[in-house]
A and B are shown apart, each in its own frame.
Chain A
Amino acid sequence: MSLLLGVVCVPPAVRATDADVAVAWEHLGRHLANDALGALQKSGAPDSREAALAEAVVRIDLQPVTDAGLRKVEAQLSELARGRDEIAAAAAYLTGRLYQVHFFTPDPVRAAQIYAQLADKSPASFWAQLGLVKLMLLRLYVLPEAGDPAARVAAAGALLPRVTQPELQRDALIVLGRGRLFHGQPVAGVLADLLAADRIGGLTGLRRVELQLQIAELSRREKLWEQARVYFERYLAENEVDGRMATVKAKLAEIAAAQRAEGPSS
């Protein structure tokens, strides 16, 4: 009887529901870390993988951010990363980000290892694909063993075929194209990457303007007049207020003059 009474009297375990976790993520999306934590703790300690991931991310954003606090987050994320679901992939990616940009003393080598392992484990996941883009950045600019500029570009380029989600493939192409340019590689390769990125599309605002202008101006410098003209004109058609319009019009006049000078075959 007393056992039965005990069972009856024990309050049911309080679970942070998916709705609570969703509220927490809504707050996190607006950097309201304290509100997000409040939403998670309203129903007690996190008791699902969803809630645990949300709490770890809250603590990345919660002020004051300390290295010791981030180490605790890393432990939480490492635990979550052991699974094989989307949460595990997100946790592994975020662990990589901790090592790449969040810890006060970054460890790019460790970050690169984590991204590579994630890409092997869950290659199709958004997080693994995004991790590959970040790994390209590390190979291009940060990792000590990546070698001379040409070797760096080659090492980053080797990752490109593994990035298959269109938006991330586009970003990877931009990373690679700009990396080639920065490291003094031939412009033809740069243009090939940027044109491929443009074919995927989906960029808006300033990113789109930058891509259009970069393709146009690099084409002009390579004397690819028609390609330059098309992209400069596309820029003019799509932008009403950008400060570079007068310069673009001057470039178009130069292109027209060059085409006239070279004759109809240009």
Chain B
Amino acid sequence: MRRGKFRLMLAVFAAGYLVALWWVFTRSAPLVSARPVTIRFAHWQIEKGPPDGIRAVIRRYEELNPRVKVEQVEVPGPVYRQWVRTNLTGGTATDLMEFAYWLQGMNDVPVRYFEPLTAAMSETNPYNRGTPMEKVPWRQTFADGLYEMISQSPEIGQVYGATLSQGSSRLFCNRELLKKITGSAAPPVTLADFRTLCAQVDDYARRTGVVLRPLAGSYSNAQWLADFVMFGTLTGMSLELDREGYLARWPWQAQSDYLLGRWNYRRPEVKAGFAMLREFTQQMRPGFSQLSRDDALQEFVRGAALFIYSGTYDATSLKRLAPFPVQAMRLPQPTKDDPVVGPYVVGPYKDGYLGTSFELYLNKHSPHKAEALDFLRFLTSVEGGQLFMDHSGWLSSVRGVKVPPEMEIYRGSMDGHSAGPQYMGVGPYSTMAFWQHLNLLVGPQGSVDKFVEALENGMRKQVTEDARVQIRTDLEAIRAVDTEIAAMNALNRLQAPDPARALRQHALASNQTVAEINEGQAAWVLQRHGYRQP
């Protein structure tokens, strides 16, 4: 009995030992990397697709560069802002990191923590050798020449990062269901077609007793839909408010315009936009504003909604999760004969994002800056872009990458007006007020008038706070440039004159002055029109 127990223990021990051996030799990572340099790259694009695309690029890069190991750090979006700030401040940030100009309260980060890539961007990308981009400066190899990133840079004119992707908002359709309901898989061409289709869906659901809505619903999907509706309806208002002749309006100008009484939420075109937004959101299930983007995605993939309006960044998730063919299409735009917003439509408007995104920045304090920059070059080369796109299903930002026909529709169009904000708030405070009151517009008892009156009650205070935040963040960026101008000037004094440096000194001074014009005008409006001092 005792001997039998001993043998059993011995057998268990031997089996355990063999499993451990197998694990060590086949599965576990070595305790010490064989590669002398490890660089880490953090991002929040943890949807289905991008991590696979980045893994494919890393695999190829490590083949080409045996000295370097690249680790991908996937950080969930809701905590990303805090994660970035904490790690940058604590000196534990990754070598490369995703960042975006629209992250609230982070305006100071690029200047303080990221390495400018302006000089590197004017050189060619060595990983583009043998491709049509071989002799093209790195910056011009991006589909938008990094225009969007540069125009939003806290230090205007300075390039702080590179982009990996581009995309748009699109209507994704369950083709099988569309054919079942209408007898045809033809997508709606006009907004009138879309309205008819929504009515057919409701009729089909009533007749068959299935739970089915025309649009999958959530707070986020409603937001994107609202962007689409309001942007198109209010392009004319933006052009009317454009006293300066920029043919565009930015949120900081819309703040001053509001405080000067040049627009408000009672204007007829704004109310028409809200009426259309109410009409569209009524095609979603009740209570959608309490639901998340994932809820809408699940609603669509289980066949409970015919369409989902979402970013093309959801395309891979939709295609991989849905048990039916998914087709991306453009949501038809309202035209001048539209019964709701027609009188305010000035023509076709921008459909999708013209700029590239998924912005990657180089940590100024990285111990392996040269290697990280090299990896960034590969990631955004024609080969890297192709690998990323083929394995992620996301459109690459890089020119020269071969795009499959079914993904062409993800690109933004350049053939429409693009003149301003959507006016669903013009800063953090007013935006919060807008979404807090949205139930008064889209709820069962909601109405445009109820919503507008609730918004206008207190909006002046919210916009004043927005303007104060804007001035404060502008001033932070303006102050930071003083040091750089002094540095360029001193280096030209101490070292051999460098025309590029002198040019940079003047560009810095020029950009800072223009930023101060804008700041001065915003502060004037606050101070001289009875609002609180900034």
Q: Chain A: residues with CB nearer than 8 A to chain B?
A: 18, 21-22, 25-26, 28-33, 50, 53-54, 57, 60-61, 86, 90, 94, 97, 101-102, 126-127, 130, 133-134, 137, 140-142, 167-168, 170-171, 174-175, 178-179, 181-182, 202-207, 210, 213-218, 221, 240-248, 250-251
Contacts and interface: CB of A to CB of B under 8 A. Distances in A.
B347 interface: yes
A60 B524 CA distance: 26
B184 interface: no
B147 A31 contact: no
B244 A244 contact: no
B243 interface: yes
Interface in B347-363: 347-348, 350, 354-355
Interface stretch (B22-30, B458-466, B479-487): B479-487
B414 A241 contact: yes
- Interface majority SS (helix, strand, loop, mixed), chain B: helix
Contacts of A240: 145
B239 interface: yes
Interface in B108-154: 111-112, 115-116, 143-145, 147, 150-151
A61 to B, nearest CB: 5
A257 B506 CA distance: 41
Contacts of A167: 506, 509-510
B327 interface: no
A146 to B, nearest CB: 11
Contacts of B480: 31, 61
Contact of A241 (B145, B239, B415, B417): B145
B495 interface: yes
B482 A29 contact: no
Nearest to B521: A182
A26 B516 CA distance: 25
Interface of B: 111-112, 115-116, 143-145, 147, 150-151, 156-157, 239, 242-248, 347-348, 350, 354-355, 364, 414-419, 475, 478-480, 482-491, 493-495, 506-507, 509-511, 513-514, 516-517, 520-521, 523-524
B479 A57 contact: no
A68 B396 CA distance: 50
- Interface majority SS (helix, strand, loop, mixed), chain A: helix
Residue among B246, B487, B493, B495 with the most chain A CB within 10 A?
B487
B416 A137 contact: no
A137 B517 contact: yes
Contacts of B523: 141-142
Nearest to A130: B509
A137 B245 contact: no
A204 B490 contact: no
Contact of A247 (B112, B145, B418): B418
A92 to B, nearest CB: 12
Given A101-B478, A174-B513, 5 more contacts: A26-B487, A137-B520, A179-B517, A206-B151, A246-B414
Given A30-B115, A205-B157, A244 B248 contact: yes
A29 B245 contact: no
A212 B327 CA distance: 41
A205 B483 contact: no
Given A57-B483, A126-B489, A133-B513, A204 B507 contact: yes
Contact of B364 (A32, A126, A127, A221): A32
A8 to B, nearest CB: 33
Given A137-B517, A206-B156, A218 B245 contact: yes
Closest 5 CB pairs of A and B: A243-B418, A217-B245, A141-B520, A29-B487, A167-B506
B354 A243 contact: yes
Contact of A22 (B144, B495, B520): B495
Contact of B510 (A28, A57, A101, A203): A203
B157 A207 contact: yes
A217 B247 contact: yes
Given A101-B478, A214-B245, A246 B348 contact: yes
Contacts of B494: 18, 21-22, 25, 50
Given A21-B494, A22-B495, A134 B516 contact: yes
Nearest to A22: B494
A178 B243 CA distance: 11
A181 B242 CA distance: 12
B486 A28 contact: yes
Given A31-B480, A97-B482, A101-B475, A248 B509 contact: no
B78 to A, nearest CB: 27
B491 A25 contact: yes
A127 B354 CA distance: 39
A174 B518 CA distance: 12
Given A32-B364, A60-B483, A241-B145, A53 B516 contact: no
A216 B245 contact: yes
Contacts of B347: 246, 250
A127 B510 CA distance: 13
Contacts of B488: 29
